[in-house]
Structure 1
Amino acid sequence: MSHHGVGPRAVMRSAVFLTAGALAVPLLAGCGSDDKPAGPLAGQDIVPVARAQVADGGTLKWAVDAVPETLNTFQADADAGTSRIAQAVLPSMFRLDVNGRPVADPAYLESAKVIETEPRQVVLYKLNQQAVWSDGREIGAADFAAQWRALSGKDSAYWTARNAGYDRIAKIERGANDLQVRVTFSRPYADWKSLFSPLYPKDVMGTPDAFNDGARRKLKVTAGPFRVEKVDTAEKDVVLGRNPRWWGKPAKLNQIVLHAVARDKRAAALADGSVDLAEVDSTEAQRIGLAGRQKGTGTPLQGSGRTSVKKLRSWALAHGFDSDEVPRAKKKLRTVIKRYLEQQQALRDLDVRKSLEPAYTQLALNGSSGPLADERVRRAVARALDRAELARLVLTPLGLPAVPVGSHLALSGQIAYADSSGAIGDQDTKEAQALLADAGWVAGGPVRAEKKGEKAAGPQKPSEDVPDGGQDGQYIVGEDDKGHDGEHGGDERGDDEGQHRDGKDKRRAPADDKREHGDKDLAQEGRHGGAPGAYAPRGTAAPAAAPAGPLAKDGKALALRFVLPSGPGSDILGSVAARISAMLGQVGIRTTITKVSDDSYFKDHIASGDYDLALYSWPSSAFPATDARPVYAKPVPAADGSVNVEQNFTRVGTDQVDQLFDRAATTLDEDEERDLIRKADARIWAAAGSIPLYQRPELVGVRKNLVNAGAFGFQTPVYEDMGFLKKGVRVSASPASGSPDK
């Protein structure tokens, strides 16, 4: 599991983490003539070529995290693999373009538009007359109606994960002919383009049994360039083959095999040919780039074989080997290095294609209890952060644009995007300290000893008895009685080994460069306007000043529990968290960093509210009025006395934000919808429940002769155009290809 996101649209903005924290969905909004949106910060990197240059045939082996538990994207356990398969084998009325905006797919639609608004909204779909299911039946109104009935929420026998939009449909009818479908809404619905993407046949949606169980491992009827041939859990494969009834441009590949490979095993899988395309982390991307640059072996295995163990170990560690995985026995060490060099030779046939994912990493602040229940403290945390520095920390070493994300609800390139971070203000240490003082947290205040059995405020109060370095998986940042005053972080390489592994602080974090910015005007939203592994660039400045002394209130120190995942791919989060903790230490906030297993990170901590601070990612949505509302909705008491937070894991929400989302979802004026979304985002910033940091990097290891595939960015992949270059055809790799800069 990757540590980057919370994902796909099939379950609204579902909580399937990509561990460094994603929902991949299409944005309905228009632009005024005087409001032209900027493009994406980074373009896609797929080495695009004309179909005439792509060979016919071949099999693409594509790494995924796991064999999907279900092929039905509307079920709760659908994942990114489910969505990938649906894109290749099922109709979608709208798909995303390179800017993350929905466009009609001409393979299925001649047109789709609102033809009536009074007394009710009516959308008329005109279907491509060649569009047929793989059993030969025309795609038509019966399929639209079956999907509506299954997802409307009116029949509890269907185990659906969401019904957003479908619950607003009043009826679906055949139009003037079999190629027309009329959809009449009971209430206006701005995000109507989000519906029927994907569209399942009535064979799947027609009965609860077919919906609940029939489509979990099989899709007998499909309508895309590919079809599902086999789901093999033993071999960890899903095999997609050409659809002989596909009416569009025929697929270049004979097969696409989605093969499950753990994230930390992907460089090895690319090297041995198990896969041809795989998302990789920055460490493996650098390894692939290093292989491409190596001219000779230059290894200690050359010569008479008398090389010392010390020299062998030094060489291995210098080439990215984990210190825990380097054997001390000389014979075993030589075997490990030999296997590594063989893999490096094979990796020369690969490139790294890179872009930015349609997802962003955020700092989440749990506002349900403890110090962060006070909006002033949350705002102080936000004002303590230098988000530009955090973006540089992650993205600059990868050669990607290091621009902080300015919106919770869209990313640069999407129509609704606008930088609304001014509602909270830029980094300002003095303002952060003033907010904390206003909330009653003062430096040098007495700290009352905790009585035996007494529960600490917040999810967990760090123990005063835990030494710096802490227990396994835990260390404290921000204490001034240990001699390092909150400077606990990674070294320039971002390696967090040694931060807590042996209980001793070995390194000092690169410091905040203490840039001071003027406050931005918060009057519009109100000062208290409403109750989601890289390394520091060389030359990062050392701390300019000692952190502030720890703060206290009512006899308790201001201490926050920072929970992180610990699995493969979490090194980015570790580095970012260490840097955030150092920034918070500058204003007197102490943090305890606790690493937990990937399996429990979301379920036992984020979803249950057992954290103060956390890092995870949300995907951007092309339909934020629909998809983002559950993420930022104000928690409400349930009938059983519990609190329904939907997907608002920070537990911070306001009535104003809810109202703005409701208005945006019902207006049919695209400019008005965009403006309402931006106003909602400004209020979300002001409430300071989550602080967007940076757009996530997308790094893809890919065989050099594979084209029209790689780092797709926003755009839905065009599966029928993917393939391998014809023999003798040469193309230049795109400028973004290659390895991350060292």
Structure 2
Amino acid sequence: MFHDGARRRSVALLTTGVLALPAVAACGASEEGNVPAAAQDLAPTPRDLVANGSTLTWAIDAVPGTLNAYQADADTGTTRVTGAVLPALFTLDDKGRPQANPDYLESAEVVEREPRQVVVYRLNQKAVWSDGREIGAPDFAAQWRALRGKDPAYWTARNAGYDRIAKVERGKDDLEVQVTFDKPYAEWRSLFTPLYPKDVMGTPDSFNDSARTTLKNTAGPFSLKKVDRKSGDITLVRNPRWWGDQPKLDQLVFRKVAPKNRTKALTAGRVDLAQVAPGEAERISLARRDKGAKGPLAHGPGAGRTPADALMSWAVAHGTEQEAAESEQLAREQTREAVVAYAAEQKSLGAYEVRKALEPSFTQLALNGADGPLADERVRRAVARALDRKELAETVLKPLGLPAQPVGSHLALAGQDAYEDASDALGSQDTAEARALLAEAGWKPGQGAARPKNAGASGEPAEGAEGEEAVGDSGNEDRPGDDGGEYIVGEDDGKSGARGGPMLPGAVAAGQGAALWRQADVVARQDGDGKTEQGAHAQQGGPPGAYAPKGTAAPKESESPGAEGAAGPLAKDGLALTLRFVVPSGAGSEQLRAVADKIAEQLEKIGVTTAMKKVPSSGYFTDHVASGQYDMALYSWPGTAYPATDGRPIHAKPVPAADGSLNVAQNYTRVGTDRIDQLFDQAVGELDDGARKKLIKEADARIWAVAGAIPLYQRPELVAARPSVANAGAFGFATPRYQDIGFLKKGAKPGKQDRKPGS
């Protein structure tokens, strides 16, 4: 995974008061911090067992709008292409650690620390661009000038690290590059990956335009042959000037296949490798399990019908009531057709297997501290202390057979050197303590407290809710699939219900002004499991717990599971404690909706009412999360090998912009402190690894304590692959080694796998 072209960038937001941090000292080193929660799953195979030749087709979400990884609209497709055709000085291993890439570097090291930091890169003497020119100092210098942030003519998405460089020079010879820093920069390995030739970085015009649609001059194992925006194919071919291990594939094709079309593409055999949602992964697993089985499938359309249902259907279809009989006969015919189509799809899906790991990204609950009840740190801490994060992780990961441990850090993931569970700075789940914090903040049981219909957290009408009525009111229909609507959890009004249908696969930081957002965007589209719930829930258009028939009475406290000691709705100054939970609409988000519903249930136990507000998927992030139009939201962040650099814009205290507004960068919770900023600033300039880790851990503990962002679980990475595909699949943190990817030779078997049979 390339860093520069796929890293989060922006500014930060709000904080309140002085931070008391009694638990920081309790955060000791974790003995298991360096153990990944789940191993990567790639079918690792020695190169001599991988066949030479052939073409592999790999699904991507869209044809990238730019092939310049340093522009704001770069995305995961950009990262895939540049990873195969451009130099990566440092790649990541399976624990997310930067490793010098011998294809480009003989060495790279800090040779001076005082009076200024100096890094010397010794380049592989065989490394050349596809035009025959050797890779050298002119390319490094051009990239530094383009990305250092001093020339606004360059439309760059980031300059972190490059803005600390004083000069880039030729060293002892043409193969040596010397980089001198004005300010110490500990995470210097993040720089110059990917590296572009000077003809791309040399002028604003070439930077802004020439690399958007093509890359004429490359230096990777593959070269870019064609970008066909009409068909959606990006074709790479072997680079004839490549000096390293020769690619096993003749061609590598990245094919545009939207997530909603993955099943169709797999059944048609149009791709060899594709990331899939949990529902698709389950279908592939069932297809492999059912190979060779005789008789009808025990799943799919009509599988849930009982003998009594079948008998009743037959009776109606052959009854004397003509209209009912015709309707039932049509339904039976449609079911038969659906069963045949489903069985055919399952047979095709049996040609794939699922490779699974945990993605280097995590889903968090964001609490907007800009205004309303959550501007009070005590209320945020109460909400966080009410959460059973283990249960939320199990909701997503346990059905997939993946480790379901909550994420304990905002800045690293399990397996990384910097990982340590610092959640003790906030405290574990404790309903009594959560209630006490709310009481201290002035929120008391308040029967009949006013809450304007469709109101947000501060009592103002929720955006886009005009004309909608509270759940259960007469005159409103449940409308599965509607792109909007609201349902209330925790209101003591004797009614329960919902409006709307299944939601987007997930919510992710993506698409606005920062190169790394593209990872988050991909991350977003993978949160849902993509499958339709069966039975009554499917008829109502949502996952269990999301909907009830209009007018259904809410269960009494004594009848509710786990309701012992449940708090009644809380109020303050005549207003109910109601938090607006913004969730995206659209198909494929049942998994995310299930997590949101569980959070709402957990908050109800401490007297917090949750107003679940569906918003259009297309504007979920930009119109609501980034703009601050929410109280609670779920979205995901990609992990990073460079926490001091990447963590700061996400957690830094907001600063006033020139126009008087707040510049929040990527701190969409609007929560931060001066001390957190200081710790990041110290860490990014601390060249001693041990001292830097301590600073990062302290920063993380303080982020937990202010309770703006609550990490929940590491996201699943599920990849459908032909069993013959070698050295590709669920990569986890590791950077793909494109020249090793291919197909097994006839009779060859891949290395040891962590998958269970049939998965």
Give the TM-score, by structure 2 length: 0.83
Counterpart in the other structure of 1:626 = 645
Classify 1:262/1:453 alpha carbon distance in 2 versus 1 (closer, same or farther; 3 Å).
closer
Counterpart in the other structure of 2:401 = 399
1:570, distance to aligned residue in structure 2 (A) = 1.4
**Cα displacement string for residues 192-225 of structure 1 (whole angstroms, at most 9, x for unaligned residues):** 0100011001111011111101000100011111
Classify 1:677/1:235 alpha carbon distance in 2 versus 1 (closer, same or farther; 3 Å).
same
Counterpart in the other structure of 2:347 = 345
Counterpart in the other structure of 2:293 = 296
Counterpart in the other structure of 1:559 = 578
Counterpart in the other structure of 1:536 = none
Classify 1:33/1:93 alpha carbon distance in 2 versus 1 (closer, same or farther; 3 Å).
farther
What is the one-letter code of the residue matched to 1:299? P
Q: Does 1:65 align with 2:69?
A: no
Equivalent residues of 1:113, 1:124 under 8 A apart: yes
Classify 1:150/1:553 alpha carbon distance in 2 versus 1 (closer, same or farther; 3 Å).
same
Question: Is the partner of 2:213 in helix, strand or coil?
Answer: coil
Question: Is the partner of 1:717 in helix, strand or coil?
Answer: coil
Which deviates further from its counterpart, 327-336 or 722-731? Answer: 327-336
Distance 1:737 1:137 in 2: 49
**Cα displacement string for residues 663-688 of structure 1 (whole angstroms, at most 9, x for unaligned residues):** 00111111111110000000000000
Counterpart in the other structure of 1:179 = 175
1:475, distance to aligned residue in structure 2 (A) = 1.0
Question: Residue 196 of structure 2: which of 195, 200, 203 is its match?
Answer: 200
1:448, distance to aligned residue in structure 2 (A) = 3.8
Distance 2:32 2:59 in 1: 37
Equivalent residues of 1:67, 1:238 under 8 A apart: yes
Counterpart in the other structure of 2:136 = 140
Question: Is the partner of 2:712 in helix, strand or coil?
Answer: strand
What is the one-letter code of the residue matched to 1:418? E
**Cα displacement string for residues 600-652 of structure 1 (whole angstroms, at most 9, x for unaligned residues):** 10010000101110000011111111111100010111121111001100100
Aligned Cα RMSD in Å? 3.4
Distance 1:482 1:381 in 2: 24
Distance 1:447 1:644 in 2: 35
Query: In the comparison of the two structures, how many residue pairs are matched?
Result: 674
Equivalent residues of 1:351, 1:738 under 8 A apart: no
Q: Does 1:77 align with 2:61?
A: no
Q: Where do 5+ consecutive residues of structure 1 fail to align?
A: 1-6, 16-31, 302-306, 315-325, 513-540
Classify 1:584/1:144 alpha carbon distance in 2 versus 1 (closer, same or farther; 3 Å).
same
Equivalent residues of 2:497, 2:551 under 8 A apart: no
1:456, distance to aligned residue in structure 2 (A) = 4.6
Counterpart in the other structure of 1:655 = 674
Question: Residue 476 of structure 1: which of 488, 505, 508 is its match?
Answer: 488
Q: Does 1:599 align with 2:601?
A: no
Question: Is the partner of 1:628 in helix, strand or coil?
Answer: helix
Counterpart in the other structure of 1:357 = 359
Classify 1:384/1:63 alpha carbon distance in 2 versus 1 (closer, same or farther; 3 Å).
same
Counterpart in the other structure of 1:734 = 753
Question: Residue 220 of structure 1: which of 212, 216, 222 is its match?
Answer: 216
What is the one-letter code of the residue matched to 1:596? V
1:183-332 correspondence runs (5 A)? 183-294=179-290, 295-299=292-296, 311=310, 329-332=331-334
Distance 1:351 1:545 in 2: 45
1:458, distance to aligned residue in structure 2 (A) = 6.3
Equivalent residues of 1:286, 1:739 under 8 A apart: no
Distance 1:422 1:273 in 2: 49
Counterpart in the other structure of 1:109 = 105
Distance 1:327 1:103 in 2: 64
Counterpart in the other structure of 1:504 = 550
1:409, distance to aligned residue in structure 2 (A) = 0.3
Distance 2:452 2:109 in 1: 64
What is the one-letter code of the residue matched to 2:418? A
Equivalent residues of 1:351, 1:737 under 8 A apart: no
Equivalent residues of 1:285, 1:739 under 8 A apart: no
Which deviates further from its counterpart, 329-338 or 571-580? Answer: 329-338
What is the one-letter code of the residue matched to 2:550? K
**Cα displacement string for residues 395-452 of structure 1 (whole angstroms, at most 9, x for unaligned residues):** 1111101111000000011111110000110000000000000001001255247599
Equivalent residues of 2:67, 2:213 under 8 A apart: yes
Question: Is the partner of 1:171 in helix, strand or coil?
Answer: strand
1:540-579 correspondence runs (5 A)? 542-545=561-564, 547-579=566-598
Classify 1:397/1:312 alpha carbon distance in 2 versus 1 (closer, same or farther; 3 Å).
farther
Question: Is the partner of 2:62 in helix, strand or coil?
Answer: coil
1:338-737 correspondence runs (5 A)? 338-444=340-446, 447-448=449-450, 450=452, 456-457=458-459, 460=462, 466-468=470-472, 473-482=485-494, 496-497=542-543, 504=550, 542-545=561-564, 547-731=566-750, 734-736=753-755
Identity %: 57
Question: Is the partner of 1:196 in helix, strand or coil?
Answer: coil
Counterpart in the other structure of 1:47 = 43
What is the one-letter code of the residue matched to 2:493? D
1:165, distance to aligned residue in structure 2 (A) = 0.5
Distance 2:97 2:311 in 1: 52
Question: Is the partner of 1:711 in helix, strand or coil?
Answer: coil
Equivalent residues of 1:479, 1:485 under 8 A apart: no
Distance 1:585 1:33 in 2: 35
What is the one-letter code of the residue matched to 2:363? T
Distance 2:196 2:646 in 1: 21
Distance 1:672 1:328 in 2: 72
Classify 1:166/1:311 alpha carbon distance in 2 versus 1 (closer, same or farther; 3 Å).
farther
Equivalent residues of 1:11, 1:75 under 8 A apart: no
Which deviates further from its counterpart, 664-673 or 338-347? Answer: 338-347
Q: Does 1:335 align with 2:337?
A: yes
Distance 1:222 1:85 in 2: 11
Distance 2:383 2:625 in 1: 19
Equivalent residues of 1:489, 1:575 under 8 A apart: no
1:731, distance to aligned residue in structure 2 (A) = 4.1
Distance 1:312 1:738 in 2: 38
1:331, distance to aligned residue in structure 2 (A) = 3.9
Question: Is the partner of 1:216 in helix, strand or coil?
Answer: helix
What is the one-letter code of the residue matched to 1:599? S
Classify 1:312/1:650 alpha carbon distance in 2 versus 1 (closer, same or farther; 3 Å).
farther
1:481, distance to aligned residue in structure 2 (A) = 2.7
1:547, distance to aligned residue in structure 2 (A) = 3.1
Equivalent residues of 2:223, 2:237 under 8 A apart: yes
Distance 1:173 1:507 in 2: 74
What is the one-letter code of the residue matched to 1:688? A
Distance 2:633 2:400 in 1: 24
1:467, distance to aligned residue in structure 2 (A) = 2.2
Q: Where do 5+ consecutive residues of structure 2 fail to align?
A: 11-27, 299-304, 314-327, 503-532
**Cα displacement string for residues 352-398 of structure 1 (whole angstroms, at most 9, x for unaligned residues):** 00000000000000111111011000000000001011111111111
**Cα displacement string for residues 117-169 of structure 1 (whole angstroms, at most 9, x for unaligned residues):** 11110000000111111111100000000000000111111100000000111
Classify 1:380/1:230 alpha carbon distance in 2 versus 1 (closer, same or farther; 3 Å).
same
Question: Is the partner of 2:183 in helix, strand or coil?
Answer: coil
What is the one-letter code of the residue matched to 1:392? E
Distance 1:173 1:453 in 2: 59
Equivalent residues of 2:4, 2:194 under 8 A apart: no
Counterpart in the other structure of 1:122 = 118
What is the one-letter code of the residue matched to 1:504? K
1:736, distance to aligned residue in structure 2 (A) = 1.9
1:298, distance to aligned residue in structure 2 (A) = 2.4
Question: Is the partner of 2:212 in helix, strand or coil?
Answer: coil
What is the one-letter code of the residue matched to 2:59? A
Equivalent residues of 1:11, 1:162 under 8 A apart: no
Q: Does 1:10 align with 2:22?
A: no
